[in-house]
Amino acid sequence: MMTKRPLGKILALLLLGLPLFAAVTATVDNPAVTRGDPVTLTISATGDDIRFPALTEIAGYPIQSRGTSRNISIVNGHTTRAVEQRLVFTPTEDTAIPALDVTVDGTVEHTLPLHVKVVAPQAAAKGAPVQMLLRLSKAKAYVGEPVELDLVFKYLPGERIDDIRISEPTLEHFWIKRINTQAERSADSEGYITQSYRYLLFPQQSGDLEIPAIFAQIGTKVSTGRGGMGGDPFFNDPFFGAARMQYRKVYSEPATLHVTALPQGLEVYGRFTMHADIDKTSVDTNKPVNLHIHIEGNGNVEDIPKFDPHFAHAIVYANDPKTTSTLQDGKYFGTFDQTIAIIPDRDLTVTPQTFRYFDAKTAQPATLQTPPFFVKVKGAASVPAAAAAPHVETAAPATAAAVQTPALSGSSRFSPLEALGIFAAGAAAGVLSYWLLLLRGRDRLPKKRELPPMAKRVKAAKSDRTLFELLLPLKGSAKPIDDALAQLEANLYRGADHAVDRKALADYFGGQTGEDVALI
């Protein structure tokens, strides 16, 4: 006779036995993915004390995100704790995930190894109801030459599409500029509805540059099954109840652009004009004159290098250039402006500045040049010629003449009147010597120290411009001066807002010796 056991006890025994056979598992959400798609690895374990491996990568691919969830269940008074760890990574080739060690209640458990197959994106076949196209305006270009890239998403009118997400192209070795901010909608000759996204590509190196397949994510609303009304299938449409968006991907074909290097080491492609001017042709000593360079034309002005000239007997501050760009009829136009501050200490010729590029119209190297400018420096010290060695005339040594002194006879005596004169002369000499000593002592008394002129001028400088011009002649003489000049330059020419410590500068100059201050 068969003994009947309560069903609850049987289920409890089965649940208690599960961890013995599968305490740790590892799964992937998809064993085959398209290159570029992420994979989620889920490690599950059941136990009271669970320790997952500390992973930063999976099979050489970095972990992009991670998450952990916990679940506690109680069956017939028995508590079961389950923990899941989810790791997201993006493999680019077929990937073998090795067995992983997980410690459960002090015992090391092992997951089974897994394999993920990575396949190349497949573009939809011609005539498919939904397609993604990638088109280049040309197959060959020079470095820096603009190439138009069109991404076209097309679908038949009867295809249900609730959301479209086009992946923005992120291309290596290209500078990218979006042409249209909104997709251009139209209908083609085959009856498809099209949405076009237009870009300009500027290749930054030579060679065969690959543009990988671009994909569109197509979203369709699907019902969650909780929106029906009275079981009527009509009301089970996502429009009437809860729904979620379900996405699928549609890929384009990849493309390759053959890029040729510019000749003669040139870096800029386009067609440009250039002119320059200075704000003054006569300037006081240690006052700046500003050279302004302007370039405009059709091409990527962001590639134009910064001008950094050097002139003898002048301090030069070359500001960073400012560029603007616009799109006109699908062509890229821009302007380049740079101001260069020059502080000469004598008359100066600002030599021509040169810009070389590859001309898009002539397909030849081209050179643009600014005119020279002469700057007169008022009050500049002239360079002295070498002074002749001074001629010093010396008198010939005179022949010693015989000096005859009358012999004093032992019987010679001073008269009383002569003795009185000698005494008066000695007394006068003594008084004079004492007075001279008093004057000398007064000269040696310490005087109150007066603030050096340079310290006064630093304190009196009310603006950054005034202080900058005051300190410029002393550049390189001391670190406090150079630090202050760097801050002032950033304020005046780079838009910074440094607070220059004028008191510290005045204290520095106040501590100079008289000789140092005289040099200033």
- One DSSP character per residue, 373-406 reads EEEEEETPPP-PPPPPPPP---PPPPPPPPP--P
CA distance 399 to 404: 15
CA 366 to each of CA 272, 295, 323, 357, 507: distance values in angstroms, whole numbers, following the listed order: 9, 14, 21, 5, 55
In the beta sheet, which residues pair with residue 71? Answer: 82
Residues counted in the chain: 520
Among residues 42, 61, 18, which one has the least CA distance to residue 102? Answer: 42
Nearest Cα neighbor of 138 from 259, 282, 280, 306 is 259
The per-residue pLDDT for 311 is 92
Strands 354-359 vs 269-278: parallel, antiparallel or unpaired: parallel
141: which 2 tokens? Answer: 């270009």
Question: CA 395, 400, 404 angle in degrees (round to 5)?
Answer: 140
Q: What is the pLDDT of residue 35?
A: 83
pLDDT at position 387: 37
Q: What's the whole-model pTM score?
A: 0.60
Q: Tens-digit pLDDT profile for the chain (520 aa)?
A: 445 555 455 444 444 444 444 579 999 998 999 888 889 999 999 988 899 999 999 999 999 999 999 888 887 777 788 999 999 999 989 999 999 999 998 899 999 999 999 998 889 888 999 999 999 999 999 999 999 999 999 999 988 899 999 888 889 999 998 888 888 899 999 999 999 999 999 999 999 999 999 999 899 888 766 555 555 555 555 555 567 888 888 999 999 999 999 999 999 999 999 999 999 999 998 889 999 999 999 998 999 999 999 998 899 999 999 999 998 887 899 999 999 999 998 999 999 999 999 999 999 999 999 999 999 999 875 544 433 333 333 334 433 333 343 444 444 455 655 656 666 666 666 666 666 666 565 555 555 555 577 888 888 888 888 888 888 878 878 888 888 888 888 888 777 888 888 888 888 887 654 434 433 3
> Which pLDDT score, from 0 to 100, does residue 392 have?
37
**Between the CA of residue 248 and those of 34, 130, 390, what are the distances in Å?**
12, 11, 98
Residue 470 CA to residue 481 CA, distance in Å, equals 10
3-class secondary-structure state, position 492: helix
3-state class of 510 per DSSP?
helix
Whole-angstrom distance, CA of residue 147 vs CA of residue 171: 13
CB of 350 within 8 A of CB of 372?
A: yes
Outline where 229-275 has alpha helix (H): none
- Cα–Cα dist 405/191, whole Å: 142
Helical packing angle, 453-460 and 464-471, nearest 10°: 150
Distance (Å) of CA 192 to CA 17, 122, 184:
59, 20, 14
Query: 3-class DSSP state for residue 214?
Result: coil
Write the burial class of residue 155 (CB in 10 Å: 0-12 exposed, 13-18 middle, 19+ buried): buried
Task: At 57, give phi and psi (nearest 5°).
Answer: -150, 160
Which residues 6+ apart lie within 8 Å of 57 measured at CB? 63, 89
